[in-house]
Amino acid sequence: MILFDLKCENDHVFEAWFKDNAAFKDQSEKGIVLCPNCSSKKVKKALMAPNVSLANSEKKQASTSELAKAQKFISEAQKAIENNFDYVGKDFASEARKIHYGESDKKNIYGEASETDAKSLKEEGVAFATIPWKTKEDA
């Protein structure tokens, strides 16, 4: 696993973990790497200083342990969402609006939204969150 500093077109800087450089490139090209601040899909690697101070094994072990905890947390959160929310797929924006405006009963949903839809939902005040999602290959 590798941690990249990323930067979106709106100059938001954030970090994300990837299996390797090829995984970042593949996910970026598919448009599934999103800025957590503005949901922009136009994300590039930002300049970052290399971490070369991991000479002692305690630091390496702690770093690996923290990564394992984060991956476990993401997996558990994803399972909880899959077990307790209704999957609406690419209809997420439409369904979220219906719930927000009282056209549908309130319920927990999850799915996919385009960058444009995410921006529109945000502007309309529709409450939603973008979270990291592990594909079946990553699980």
SS3 at position 34: coil
Per-residue pLDDT tens for 80-127?
999 999 999 999 999 999 999 999 999 999 999 988 999 999 999 999
pTM for this structure? 0.51
Per-residue pLDDT tens for 42-70?
999 887 655 555 555 555 665 777 888 88
CB burial of residue 118 (10 Å; 0-12, 13-18, 19+) = buried
